[in-house]
């Protein structure tokens, strides 16, 4: 579609009946009607939409608006696939060894037979050595070098639009972790919560301080007083946004959360350790948020049976939401029953997706290179992606992608500005 120049009333009268002019007037009328134009644009594939953003400032503003995002995707919590990232995403490291690398994101669709053709998720559009440190509802917080300036820093990246913004440097005494907080249903703006620490010269005690970046103001500001905790400092690298707070998981003892609106740190209890077990026997299989629910899965020994727990909104404790028995999966995929040496299980829970209806909720499992959707209510399952059959140049890869080689992030289409 082209942006067409206006035609005056006298010109319309002079050239009435001219088919070419009538087509021009029709296109001009559509281009000047945002509601009609939005109805047309929302039906286009992502790649085409990104091209149309460059047609004019008007088109760019329209497509980037929260209204169009809601029109295009009325359910912003809808997960269309998973993005896999190398395990280095766990490390907040930036050095000469990571500068020239660009790990990319591998896309796994959550619909059988569907292929993602609109995106190249290996393209970070000007970012090098990209390490994902947090994601939330379609946006990613990354540690990377900019290709042009060769300057390292933190960035918020939208994989749908391939746009990113570079954050001002947070307090850099010792950054323990950054967590992204974004809810498109509540606001077009996002926050980034940074935790940094210092060690007291007198007591050798570590003190933590929180800073909040606001996309609305474009700046960082300190929040609250310094605090101490018995939890290891590594927990601040895995914050999950839920209930208006960043929630950090501590395997040993109470966990922590930071309420962004109230700007206070609170404690979140862990699932009680069963009698006869010790906390160090616990293996956290999954911890994450979906459709405004916070979940955790833990096991204490090799098993195909476990509970999915959900945190109460008042942080009073975890309750059993689903019970799972993967024996039926093992009847079709026997590898799931074969426990590797020194491992608790041969499968990994890479994601939990809550549906609009409870009957649509499912786990995504990875076993022997296959990705499997397991319905949490109906207890049925299906293979959605077989990574073990992916070729590597000239044939099928000898070693399938193992789950401990990557971190998984839910992909939600978003046209939100960063």
Q: What is the CA radius of gyration of the chain?
A: 24
Question: Model confidence over 184-215: pLDDT tens digits?
Answer: 989 889 999 999 998 887 777 899 999 999 99
The pLDDT of residue 27: 54
Q: Is residue 17 part of a domain?
A: no
The pLDDT of residue 263: 93
Which tokens sit at 183? 């809810």
Question: Model confidence over 36-88: pLDDT tens digits?
Answer: 777 777 777 777 777 777 777 777 777 777 777 777 777 888 898 888 875 54
Q: Is residue 342 part of a domain?
A: yes
Residues 67 and 148 in one domain: no
Task: Examine the fold and report which residue of 72, 101, 122 is the final residue of a domain before the chain moves on.
Answer: 72
Residues 65 and 87 in one domain: no
Question: Model confidence over 107-143: pLDDT tens digits?
Answer: 888 875 555 555 666 666 677 777 888 999 999 998 8
- Of the candidates 191, 214, 196, the residue with the CA atom closest to the CA atom of residue 206: 196
Q: Provide the domain count of the chain.
A: 2
Residues 93 and 237 in one domain: yes
pTM here is: 0.82
Residues 59 and 129 in one domain: no
Q: Is residue 15 part of a domain?
A: no
Residues 318 and 383 in one domain: yes
Question: Model confidence over 324-340: pLDDT tens digits?
Answer: 999 889 888 888 887 76
Dihedral angle sign, alpha carbons of residues 223, 226, 229, 232: positive
- In the sheet with 152-158, reading across from the earlier edge strand, the strands are 127-136, 139-146, 152-158, 163-166
Q: Is residue 7 part of a domain?
A: no
Residues 268 and 289 in one domain: yes
Residues 35 and 113 in one domain: no
Task: Write the CATH number for 231.
Answer: 2.120.10
Rounded to whole angstroms, how far apart are CA atoms 184 and 201? Answer: 43
Rounded to whole angstroms, how far apart are CA atoms 362 and 375? Answer: 4
Residues 276 and 137 in one domain: yes
Mean pLDDT value across the chain: 79
Question: Model confidence over 354-395: pLDDT tens digits?
Answer: 999 999 999 999 888 888 999 999 999 998 877 665 544 444
Rounded to whole angstroms, how far apart are CA atoms 378 and 372? Answer: 15
The pLDDT of residue 398: 38
Q: Is residue 10 part of a domain?
A: no
Residues 98 and 50 in one domain: no
Structural domain containing residue 251: 81-411
Task: Examine the fold and report which residue of 42, 72, 102 is the final residue of a domain before the chain moves on.
Answer: 72
Q: Is residue 211 part of a domain?
A: yes
- Of the candidates 382, 408, 360, the residue with the CA atom closest to the CA atom of residue 75: 360
With 0-12 CB in 10 A as exposed, 13-18 as middle and 19+ as buried, what is 247? buried
Rounded to whole angstroms, how far apart are CA atoms 32 and 5? Answer: 10
Dihedral angle sign, alpha carbons of residues 89, 94, 95, 98: positive
Residues 232 and 317 in one domain: yes
Q: Could you tell me which residues come within 8 angstroms of residue 194 by beta carbon, excluding any fewer than 6 positions away?
A: 170, 171, 175, 177, 178, 210, 211, 212, 213, 220
Residues 285 and 313 in one domain: yes
Question: Model confidence over 137-156: pLDDT tens digits?
Answer: 999 998 887 766 667 789 99
pLDDT above 60 for 246: yes
Task: Examine the fold and report which residue of 39, 55, 72 is the final residue of a domain before the chain moves on.
Answer: 72
Residues 267 and 353 in one domain: yes
Q: Could you tell me which residues come within 8 angstroms of residue 22 by beta carbon, excluding any fewer than 6 positions away?
A: none
Q: Is residue 2 part of a domain?
A: no
Q: Is residue 25 part of a domain?
A: no
């Amino acid at each position: 579609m082209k942006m067409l120049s206006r035609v005056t009333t006298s010109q319309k009268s002079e050239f009435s009946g001219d088919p070419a002019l009538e087509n021009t007037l029709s296109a001009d009328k559509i281009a000047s009607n945002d509601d009609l134009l939005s109805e047309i644009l929302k039906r286009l594939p992502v790649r085409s939409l990104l091209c149309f953003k460059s047609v004019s400032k008007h088109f760019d503003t329209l497509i980037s608006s929260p209204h169009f995002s809601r029109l295009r995707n009325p359910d912003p919590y809808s997960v269309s696939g998973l993005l896999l990232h190398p395990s280095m995403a766990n490390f907040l490291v930036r050095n000469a060894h990571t500068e020239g690398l660009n790990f990319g994101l591998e896309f796994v669709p959550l619909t059988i037979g569907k292929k993602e053709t609109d995106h190249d998720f290996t393209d970070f559009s000007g970012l090098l050595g990209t390490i994902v440190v947090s994601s939330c509802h379609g946006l990613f917080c990354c540690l990377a070098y900019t290709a042009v300036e060769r300057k390292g820093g933190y960035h918020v990246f939208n994989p749908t639009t391939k746009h990113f913004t570079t954050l001002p440097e947070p307090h850099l005494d010792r950054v323990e972790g950054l967590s992204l907080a974004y809810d498109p249903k509540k606001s077009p703006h996002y926050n980034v919560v940074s935790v940094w620490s210092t060690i007291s010269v007198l007591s050798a005690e570590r003190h933590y301080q929180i800073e909040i970046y606001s996309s609305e103001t474009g700046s960082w500001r300190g929040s609250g007083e310094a605090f101490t905790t018995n939890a290891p400092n590594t927990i601040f690298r895995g914050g999950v946004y839920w209930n208006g707070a960043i929630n950090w998981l501590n395997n040993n003892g109470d966990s922590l959360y930071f309420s962004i609106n109230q700007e206070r740190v609170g404690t979140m209890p862990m699932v009680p350790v069963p009698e006869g077990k010790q906390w160090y026997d616990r293996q956290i299989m999954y911890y994450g948020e979906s459709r405004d629910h916070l979940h955790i899965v833990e096991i204490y020994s090799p098993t195909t049976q476990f509970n999915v727990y959900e945190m109460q909104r008042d942080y009073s404790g975890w309750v059993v939401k689903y019970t799972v028995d993967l024996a039926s999966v093992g009847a079709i995929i026997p590898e799931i029953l074969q426990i590797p040496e020194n491992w608790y299980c041969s499968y990994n829970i890479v994601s939990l997706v809550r549906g609009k209806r409870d009957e649509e909720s499912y786990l995504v499992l990875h076993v022997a290179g296959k990705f499997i959707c397991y319905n949490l209510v109906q207890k049925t399952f299906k293979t959605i992606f077989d990574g073990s059959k992916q070729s590597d140049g000239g044939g099928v890869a000898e070693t399938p992608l193992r789950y401990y080689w990557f971190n998984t992030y839910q992909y939600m289409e978003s046209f939100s500005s960063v």
